[in-house]
Structure 1
Amino acid sequence: MKIKRSKSLSPEPSSSRETKRVKLEESADSNGVTSSINILSFSDDVLLNIVKYLHPQDLMAISLCCQRFAQLTQDRTLWRRVDFRVKPILLDDLIKYMKFLQPLTLSLAIRGNLSSGTSALTQNFFDHVRTQCNQLKELIIEEYYIHGDKIQITDFPCTIEKLSLKGCKMDYLQSNKSYFFKMDLHMPNLTCLILTKCNWFTPHSLLVISKIPKLKELRLNSCHRLGECVAYASLATRFGFKTLEILDLRDTSLGDSEVGCFSSTKTLTHLYLECPTLGHEDRESEIVQQRQQRQRQPLPIPIPIPIYEDHNLAQFYIEDLVSFEDFGFQRCLISDRAICALGSDTGDRKVINSSPQGMVILQEDRRICNNPNLKTLVVRNYPRVTNSSLVHLALNASKLEYLDVTGTSVTREGVESFKSQKTNVKVVSSFDTRHS
């Protein structure tokens, strides 16, 4: 029975040839010496099952061996999910692999090397990806330079559902417009955005990102410019983030006020918080050095405050000269206040009638600010988080499944009391003997 392999770009399979390859058997010559089997003696189906375990760089290498391997390595089944991150790949080398990308390529992951100074992506690269991979769902770009003035967010493929710019460096950004402006319109199907270690990310971009209609996962860990953004966080959580489930804010300078804003995000299931690793003494020393350096510099010429192009939400302006370290180490210490905002109720009251006899009638306008679906909470290395947070979570976090309070000021007795009340919750703390 013949099997048609119409979806393959490899040479005509053995099953469809007039003369099938004979079953491989060891044969002996006239002198009784057993001959070895050549890899090219295998059928295309067998070879495909072997080479599918190779990295793209290895596929490129064996494609240069012979014509048969050159055709075999172009099979579309080998290029549906492409991951070049096994080692850094420069742009010149990356161009050589573009010919292997297929219309059915669903995932593309690349990693550069910022220290080399030549890992800069070009407009031609993005044009080629959009043309060759018109069904691309996942684009992962790590440790590359991106020229913010030449490459806009609209140059990225509009079909992607997951975008990662982890560790990328962005230069030549406009001061009056977020780099992600109109991202919600250009990528309507985006569900995951990873901006880990993107120190160029500024707080006002939260407003644009919050409007992405299907966004479920947002990772901003180690975005060190993400500080003092109460206004942005308040507006973003009030008008946006309607589908957000996973939020990673580890190693950022956010405090109680910003984290408290996300308590109104009812779809949130996973929240990750961890104090920046830089110690108090080192941070204060760095602040002093920055202030002294700015005092020696001439005062900048005042410029008019720019008007942002996004008119749907009010936006605020933060001078680029002010870094988050200026707010002090105490600024980024999350306390029980932020944790107790998760699952709490707040209510506003207003007087609707007041009689001369002293009777006052009040009307309550209760706003429930909670995370009813919160399953995972990580809050590490914050000394201001105490047993009060555990007591609150035991009473209000009904769906909690995982809690990490390592490095906080909770006590062993507080942890044991929490475990006794929430037996279905896995608790990780500094008191665990097997904690790693």
Structure 2
Amino acid sequence: MKIKRSKSLSPEPSSSRDTKRIKFEKITNLSRVTSSPNILEFSDDVLLNILKYLYPQDLMAVSLCCHRLAQLIQDRTLWRRVDFRIKPMLLNDLNQYMKFLQPITMSLAMRGNFVSGECSEHLTQKFFNNVKALCNQLKELIIEEYYINGDKIQITDFPCTIEKLSLKGCQMNYLQRSNKSYFFKMDLYMPNLTCLILSNCQWFTPHSLLVISKIPKLKELRLNSCHRLGECVAYASLATRFGFKTLEILDLRDTALGDSEVGCFSSTKTLTHLYLECPSTLRNEESFETMQQLQDQQQALQLPIFEDNNVAQFFMENAPIFENNGFQRCLISDRAICALGSDSCDRKVINSSPQGMIILQENRRISNNPNLKVLVVRNYPRVTNSSLVHLALNASKLEYLDVTGTSVTKNDKYFLKSMNICIHMLLLYFEVKIYMVFKLFSR
């Protein structure tokens, strides 16, 4: 009797098994592809949440992909804060983005690449008119490294609603035959301006301080690297005496201001941050070494003090003469620093006689810069330990002090002893902790 072999017991050919496996893998891969979501399957809210992290230049590229993304790019929530500074942008390219600006746009920032004689870098009056028409609630306008024709574009062409204006690195040839400041009547046209940045604006002149000081709400003023801002005692004195009532941050780094100008700002009682740094063109290492040697010789002599019941006379035979050491008048010394945080008496005349005798009565004490918190004084070799002792005694709210590149030393035992006493007194009576950064001059 013959028994038939069941098919189920027969071995399956290897070729058919491989074929089934390949088909199974194809089906699996296909299911994976279909299950992965496409970016266009996201809702509009999700897409907008993703698009808000892109730069305006990237948004323009995405808008060219499809009709739906082009509509989403025009959503006003993406254009509240517009910053084109990721790369230099010519004016012709900038005009392509004007259609995206919205009335809700609060901030607009752009950066050019100034090339002399290149017309595409010149901001036109039409551009400012479009910005004012499209962004009627603009609060922040940042224009960097563009050319502005001051004879055609006035300060009134800028949006009057802005609270922060930056013209960093811009170039301008303004009214070469006129002495009127470019910022004339700026205080009336921009009453809400709180921040003005004019860094590296070589066209800025000292007499513009008078106009800027009248801005009623100005809190931050940056004039660093304005090299024409030199000897301007008269302008600085008038500006600080009658203006700058709300100024808190003042940046005067890389300018040729001296003791007199800095001393004028001591009357600005709202000042909290002051930045000073000597221009690189005025630094002289050889003069610094000579002055340091003379100071060391003077301390080693320990010259006596003579008194004649009226006047105390100090004889310093080898005292350093700063004018002969190659330093110019614009270098800041201890005199400017000691004007900060000092006390003065408000006196009034209560009696005067024909013989020329005048009797004065102290009314109240006036403390200059009582709110000074940050002070940076860099690369001024005429600033010594005396300035730090003065600040420790008079600037009770000082939190940060940078004296890089000055004549401040850590080796002066008398200075360290004085500073320990001063800091202890401040901690004890004013309950204020002062952090001071001591950095030695490094060549």
1:38 has 2:38 as partner: yes
Task: Give the superposition deviation at 1:368.
Answer: 3.1
Q: How does 1:188-337 map to 2 (within 5 A)?
A: 188-280=191-283, 329-337=327-335
CA 1:85 to 1:362, structure 2 compared with 1: closer, same or farther past 3 Å?
A: same
Partners in 1 of 2:45 and 2:357 — Cα distance?
Answer: 87
The question of whether the paired residues in 2 share the 8 Å contact of 1:201 and 1:223 is answered with: yes
1:181 has 2:180 as partner: no
The normalised TM-score by structure 2 is: 0.76
The corresponding residue for 1:316 is none
The question of whether the paired residues in 2 share the 8 Å contact of 1:263 and 1:369 is answered with: no
Task: Give the superposition deviation at 1:119.
Answer: 1.3
Partners in 2 of 1:334 and 1:235 — Cα distance?
Answer: 20
Task: Give the superposition deviation at 1:176.
Answer: 1.9
Task: Give the superposition deviation at 1:38.
Answer: 2.2
The question of whether the paired residues in 2 share the 8 Å contact of 1:160 and 1:189 is answered with: yes
Task: Percent identity, please.
Answer: 76
Tell me which of 116, 121, 134 is aligned to 2:123. 121
The question of whether the paired residues in 1 share the 8 Å contact of 2:406 and 2:440 is answered with: no
Partners in 2 of 1:51 and 1:274 — Cα distance?
Answer: 42
Task: Give the superposition deviation at 1:130.
Answer: 0.4
Partners in 2 of 1:253 and 1:409 — Cα distance?
Answer: 19
Partners in 1 of 2:417 and 2:154 — Cα distance?
Answer: 52
Task: Give the superposition deviation at 1:73.
Answer: 0.6
Amino acid at match of 2:382: R
The corresponding residue for 1:56 is 56
Moved more, 418-427 or 359-368: 359-368
The question of whether the paired residues in 2 share the 8 Å contact of 1:419 and 1:427 is answered with: no
Aligned-partner SS, 2:329: helix
Task: Give the superposition deviation at 1:53.
Answer: 0.8
Partners in 2 of 1:416 and 1:63 — Cα distance?
Answer: 67
Task: Give the superposition deviation at 1:332.
Answer: 1.9
Partners in 1 of 2:420 and 2:155 — Cα distance?
Answer: 46
The question of whether the paired residues in 1 share the 8 Å contact of 2:389 and 2:422 is answered with: no
Greater C-alpha Rg: 2
CA 1:216 to 1:359, structure 2 compared with 1: closer, same or farther past 3 Å?
A: closer
C-alpha RMSD of the superposition: 2.6
The corresponding residue for 1:135 is 137
The question of whether the paired residues in 2 share the 8 Å contact of 1:143 and 1:167 is answered with: yes
CA 1:237 to 1:66, structure 2 compared with 1: closer, same or farther past 3 Å?
A: same
Identify unmatched segments of 5+ residues in structure 1. Answer: 1-27, 285-327
The question of whether the paired residues in 1 share the 8 Å contact of 2:231 and 2:330 is answered with: no
Tell me which of 394, 407, 414 is aligned to 1:396. 394
Partners in 2 of 1:144 and 1:360 — Cα distance?
Answer: 59
Task: Give the superposition deviation at 1:278.
Answer: 1.5
Task: Give the superposition deviation at 1:230.
Answer: 0.3
The question of whether the paired residues in 1 share the 8 Å contact of 2:103 and 2:136 is answered with: yes
The question of whether the paired residues in 2 share the 8 Å contact of 1:407 and 1:429 is answered with: no
Give the structure with the higher percent helix: 2
The question of whether the paired residues in 2 share the 8 Å contact of 1:142 and 1:165 is answered with: yes
Task: Give the superposition deviation at 1:359.
Answer: 7.2
Moved more, 152-161 or 366-375: 366-375
How many residue pairs were aligned?
A: 361
- Once the two structures are superposed, residues 137-196 of structure 1 have per-residue CA deviations (whole angstroms, 9 ceiling, x without a partner) of 000000000000100000000000000000000123352210000100000000000000
Task: Give the superposition deviation at 1:199.
Answer: 0.5
The corresponding residue for 2:434 is 425
Identify unmatched segments of 5+ residues in structure 2. Answer: 1-24, 288-325, 428-432
- Once the two structures are superposed, residues 297-328 of structure 1 have per-residue CA deviations (whole angstroms, 9 ceiling, x without a partner) of xxxxxxxxxxxxxxxxxxxxxxxxxxxxxxx9
Partners in 2 of 1:119 and 1:240 — Cα distance?
Answer: 35
Amino acid at match of 1:173: L
The question of whether the paired residues in 1 share the 8 Å contact of 2:408 and 2:440 is answered with: no
Amino acid at match of 1:102: Q
CA 1:266 to 1:367, structure 2 compared with 1: closer, same or farther past 3 Å?
A: same
The corresponding residue for 1:82 is 82
Partners in 2 of 1:74 and 1:359 — Cα distance?
Answer: 78
1:353 has 2:355 as partner: no
The corresponding residue for 2:147 is 145
- Once the two structures are superposed, residues 54-76 of structure 1 have per-residue CA deviations (whole angstroms, 9 ceiling, x without a partner) of 11000011111111111001111
CA 1:368 to 1:32, structure 2 compared with 1: closer, same or farther past 3 Å?
A: closer
- Once the two structures are superposed, residues 283-304 of structure 1 have per-residue CA deviations (whole angstroms, 9 ceiling, x without a partner) of x9xxxxxxxxxxxxxxxxxxxx
The question of whether the paired residues in 2 share the 8 Å contact of 1:342 and 1:369 is answered with: no
- Once the two structures are superposed, residues 18-69 of structure 1 have per-residue CA deviations (whole angstroms, 9 ceiling, x without a partner) of xxxxxxxxxx985752214321111111111111111100001111111111
Aligned-partner SS, 2:393: helix
Moved more, 358-367 or 38-47: 358-367
Aligned-partner SS, 1:373: coil
Amino acid at match of 1:171: N
- Once the two structures are superposed, residues 341-366 of structure 1 have per-residue CA deviations (whole angstroms, 9 ceiling, x without a partner) of 0122345676833477x976344577
The question of whether the paired residues in 2 share the 8 Å contact of 1:84 and 1:111 is answered with: yes
The question of whether the paired residues in 1 share the 8 Å contact of 2:402 and 2:439 is answered with: no
The corresponding residue for 2:374 is 376
Amino acid at match of 2:207: H
Partners in 2 of 1:265 and 1:359 — Cα distance?
Answer: 33
Aligned-partner SS, 1:114: coil
Task: Give the superposition deviation at 1:418.
Answer: 3.2
Amino acid at match of 1:270: H
Amino acid at match of 1:82: V
CA 1:415 to 1:90, structure 2 compared with 1: closer, same or farther past 3 Å?
A: farther
